[in-house]
């Protein structure tokens, strides 16, 4: 018996629909069809009034979620691919994200963004947009890397009285498995030491966690021990956990699948330099996707995004300095 | 509808229009005196339509007003004091000086605070209506105000289509006031009448004379009753002319004299007064008394708000989330 990352997301939604009559799911193809990735499979049959097919109108979908939240509901909006959320961007950053600040009215909406690259996804079905959303005040941005977090953080996201951008990684949907759904979990906003090590801290999140863990295993064979920090939430960033790790290792490498300019990696490095400069034995480094749109061909894509091999190379460079 | 009911509705509507016009005129004076932060945006010429929207709604309904809806906001239940507080940046207003001028509301009371992105509030109303339906509420409507400019946005299209698919009790009111800032309707749409679009969305259209209070009251009540009774979304197009600039910083020199002199340029306040004079024998003395009362209420409100002080930026809770422990400390 095991549960995949995608099944965990489906089970979390089933749990929420069953236990909270304020929860509903709205998105394209989420009803009888069960969603483009089957994240809502069979949910419309069980909760026909609260699993609703939407027209291809991201702006209206997200705007309506804000209105429903004001009326006390807890909508989950499934955006078919994170890339398409840009069409509804205005409602996220100007409507949802400003409501509480402007009016003291909470805006408990959860936007599920199937994010990140998969082989053959190409420029418009592969994007990681967490850094863009994290830039705006008024949003919580989650980036679960494990089956357990996919489940528990989605439940907590819907429970929060704030808008949450839930970046679930498509690469993990089918392949990542856990024996069971979790009984307890770290809260949103707390990072986790995914692997302890003494030589260098790698701060990462989402699918890159697994590339980093693979890199750490390989380097371990050479006697190099990487400490891997899974941020879990990129807004807010758990700076304390990151700094504490850097205090132990003296070195920092940040690994993210998003683009380099002004992203989560840049933010983490900025904080460590500002708050923990004296802890660093070497200039902090980062590794991101290349600064181009995401390529279609698997060979190009495999080099476009960071992977265990490039993370190992970056870590070796850092350890030499 | 009895004549008494008609008269009482007409008078009520006129007095809210008058209060809104009086507030606008005083705000314009304060703006020119440099006592307003940012801009001032008036509803001059649009009061008849606006008040009719507000009066077509009930307490449990939803209203997303736009820039020129001072009269409708009052009719829906906003106090002049809340309007003044927001326009003058009082920390005691509903927006606590965090947002200003026309950007005000009380979401929990169904009164939605507009953002500046036109058409963006329509789907928010849709969501509130979907929620009410899921909660089992009955006989509610939601009204969203927009201008001719917003009909060009994607948000307008998506939201009207969404409301039609979900068959929501949405009343979408377009004040076809001939200009979006300085852009005339000829650069905004190419159809003969915006109401013609309704059939394409599968909704019912209503066309009103936006200068005529009686037409607006009847038209808006009819549209909201249809929506309330399950007829689905209603698209209301009201033709009128904006009798001011986009804001008080804009002298509206681009509005031609011939347009101003046309029927569209009729001031709805004058037409309303004429109606009340002819139909209900309201005398000049009565109008003057009402005007004095409106001015007194607004002036007292301004005086009170001017004494309320300003927000303290050094003791302000700079938190953008409800969940305090998730706020960033950067």
**pLDDT tens track of chain A, all 321 residues?**
799 999 999 999 999 999 999 999 999 999 999 999 999 999 999 999 999 999 999 999 999 999 999 999 999 999 999 999 999 999 999 999 999 999 999 999 999 999 999 999 999 999 999 999 999 999 999 999 999 999 999 999 999 999 999 999 999 999 999 999 999 999 999 999 999 999 999 999 999 999 999 999 999 999 999 999 999 999 999 999 999 999 999 999 999 999 999 999 999 999 999 999 999 999 999 999 999 999 999 999 999 999 999 999 999 999 998
First to last CA, chain A: 46
B123 touches chain A (CB under 8 A): yes
Give contacts of A54 with chain B, Cβ < 8 Å: 162
Band of pLDDT at residue B158, cut at 50, 70 and 90: very high
Q: Do A64 and B130 touch (CB under 8 A)?
A: yes
CA contacts within 13 A on the Cβ side of A71: 32
Condensed to tens digits (0 to 9), the pLDDT of residues A63-108 reads: 999 999 999 999 999 999 999 999 999 999 999 999 999 999 999 9
ipTM of this complex: 0.96
B13/chain A closest Cα distance in angstroms: 28
- Report yes or no: B86 and B95 within 8 Å, Cβ to Cβ: yes
- Greatest extent of chain B over all pairs of C-alpha atoms, in Å: 66
Per-residue pLDDT, A217: 98
pLDDT value, residue B1: 33
A67:B117 CB<8 A = no
Question: Given the DSSP bridges, would you call strands B179-180 and B183-184 parallel, antiparallel or unpaired?
Answer: antiparallel
Look up A304 and say whether it is catalytic: no
User: What residues of chain A lie within 8 A of the CB of B165, using their CB?
Assistant: 55
The residues that bridge with A166 in the sheet, in sequence order, are: A112, A142
Of A49, A67, A106, Cβ closest to residue B124 = A67
Query: Which of A28, A55, A63 to mutate against chain B (most B CBs within 10 Å)?
Result: A63
B82 in contact with A, Cβ within 8 Å: no
pLDDT band at B68 (very low <50, low <70, confident <90, very high): very high
**3-class SS of residue B183:** strand
Strand A23-27 relative to strand A285-287, pairing: unpaired
Question: Would you call A266 an interface residue with chain B, using a CB distance cutoff of 8 Å?
Answer: no
Determine the distance in angstroms separating the CA of A310 from the nearest CA of chain B, rounded to an integer.
31
For residue range B255-280, what is the model confidence (pLDDT) as tens digits? 999 999 999 999 999 999 999 999 99
- Taking the C-alpha atoms of residue A118 and residue A122, their distance in angstroms, rounded to an integer, is 8
Query: What is the structure's pLDDT at B6?
Result: 59
Chain A CB within 8 Å of residue B113 CB: yes
pLDDT class of B2 with cuts at 50, 70, 90: very low
Interchain contact, A140 vs B112, CB within 8 Å = no
- Tell me the CA end-to-end span of chain B in Å, nearest whole number: 62
Is B130 in contact with A162 (Cβ distance < 8 A)?
A: no
How close B125 gets to chain A, by Cα (Å)?
A: 6
CA B325 – CA A255 distance, rounded (Å): 26
**What does the alpha-carbon distance between residue B150 and residue A229 come to, in Å, rounded to a whole number?**
47
Option in B124, B132, B326 nearest A66 (CB): B124
Q: Does the beta-carbon distance from B323 to A161 stay under 8 Å?
A: yes
- Report how far residue A207's alpha carbon sits from residue A227's, in angstroms, rounded to the nearest whole number: 17
CB-based contact A76:A62 (threshold 8 Å): no
pTM for this entry? 0.97
Beta-sheet strands, E only, within chain B: 62-64, 142-147, 170-176, 179-180, 183-184, 204-209, 234-239
What whole-number distance in Å separates Cα of residue B178 and Cα of residue A147? 56
User: Is A67 in Cβ contact with B128 (below 8 Å)?
Assistant: yes
- Rounded to whole angstroms, the Cα distance separating B182 from B245 reads 8
Please state, in angstroms and rounded to a whole number, the distance separating the CA atoms of residues A275 and B329: 12
Q: Are B227 and B169 in contact (CB under 8 A)?
A: yes
Query: Among partner residues B96, B125, B326, which is closest to A188 by beta-carbon distance?
Result: B326
Predicted pLDDT of residue B4: 42
């Amino acid at each position: 018996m095991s549960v995949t990352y995608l099944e965990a997301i489906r089970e979390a939604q089933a749990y929420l629909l069953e236990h909270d009559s304020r929860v509903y799911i709205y998105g394209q193809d989420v009803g009888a069809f069960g969603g483009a990735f089957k994240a809502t499979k069979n949910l419309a049959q069980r909760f026909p009034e609260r699993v609703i097919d939407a027209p291809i109108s991201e702006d209206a979908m997200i705007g309506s979620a804000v209105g429903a939240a004001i009326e006390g509901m807890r909508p989950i909006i499934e955006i078919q691919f994170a890339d398409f959320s840009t069409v509804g961007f205005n409602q996220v950053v100007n409507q949802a994200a400003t409501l509480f600040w402007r009016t003291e009215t909470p805006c408990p909406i959860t936007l599920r963004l199937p994010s990140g690259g998969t082989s053959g996804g190409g420029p418009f079905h592969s994007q990681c947009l967490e850094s863009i959303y994290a830039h705006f005040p008024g949003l919580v941005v989650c980036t679960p890397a494990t089956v357990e977090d996919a489940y528990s953080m989605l439940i907590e996201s819907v429970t929060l009285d704030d808008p949450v951008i839930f970046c679930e990684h498509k690469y993990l949907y089918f392949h990542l498995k856990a024996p069971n759904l979790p009984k307890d979990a770290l809260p949103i906003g707390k990072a986790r030491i995914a692997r302890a090590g003494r030589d260098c801290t790698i701060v990462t999140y989402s699918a890159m966690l697994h590339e980093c863990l693979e890199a750490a295993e390989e380097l371990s064979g050479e006697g190099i021990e990487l400490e891997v920090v899974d941020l879990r939430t990129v807004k807010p960033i758990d700076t304390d956990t990151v700094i504490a790790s850097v205090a132990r290792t003296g070195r920092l490498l940040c690994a993210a699948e998003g683009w380099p300019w002004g992203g989560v990696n840049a933010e983490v490095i900025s904080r460590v330099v500002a708050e923990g400069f004296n802890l660093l034995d070497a200039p902090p480094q980062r590794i991101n996707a290349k600064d181009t749109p995401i390529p279609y061909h698997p060979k190009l894509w495999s080099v476009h995004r960071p992977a265990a091999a490039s993370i190992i190379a970056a870590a070796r460079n850092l350890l030499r300095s | 509808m009895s004549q008494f009911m008609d008269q009482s509705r007409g008078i009520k509507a006129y007095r809210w229009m008058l209060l809104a016009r009086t507030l606008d005129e005083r705000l314009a004076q304060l703006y020119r005196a440099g006592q307003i932060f940012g801009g001032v945006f008036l509803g001059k010429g649009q009061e008849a339509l606006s008040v009719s929207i507000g009066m077509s709604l009930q307490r449990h309904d939803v209203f997303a007003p736009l820039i020129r809806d001072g009269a409708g906001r009052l009719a829906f239940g906003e106090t002049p004091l809340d309007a003044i507080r927001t326009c003058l940046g009082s920390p005691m207003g509903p927006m606590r000086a965090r947002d200003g001028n026309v950007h005000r509301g009380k979401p929990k009371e169904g009164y939605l605070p507009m953002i500046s992105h036109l058409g963006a509030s329509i789907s928010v109303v849709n969501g509130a209506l979907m929620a009410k339906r899921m909660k089992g509420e009955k006989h509610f409507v939601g009204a969203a105000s927009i201008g001719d400019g917003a009909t060009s946005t994607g948000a307008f299209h998506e939201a009207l289509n969404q409301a039609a698919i979900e068959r929501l009790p949405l009343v979408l009111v377009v004040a076809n006031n001939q200009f979006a800032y300085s852009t005339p309707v000829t650069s905004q749409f190419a159809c003969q009448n915006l109401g013609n679009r309704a059939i394409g969305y599968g909704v019912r259209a209503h066309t009103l004379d936006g200068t005529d209070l009686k037409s607006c009251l009847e038209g808006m009540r009819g549209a909201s009753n249809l929506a309330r009774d399950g007829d689905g979304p209603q698209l209301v197009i009201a033709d009128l002319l904006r009798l001011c600039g986009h804001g008080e910083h804009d002298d509206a020199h681009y509005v031609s004299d011939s347009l101003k002199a046309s029927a569209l340029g009729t001031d709805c306040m004058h037409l309303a007064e004429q109606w009340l004079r002819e139909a209900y024998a309201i005398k000049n003395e009565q109008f003057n008394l009402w005007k004095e009362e409106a001015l007194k209420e607004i002036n007292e409100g301004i005086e009170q708000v001017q004494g309320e002080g300003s927000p303290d930026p050094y003791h302000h809770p700079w938190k953008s989330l409800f969940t305090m422990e998730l706020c960033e400390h950067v």
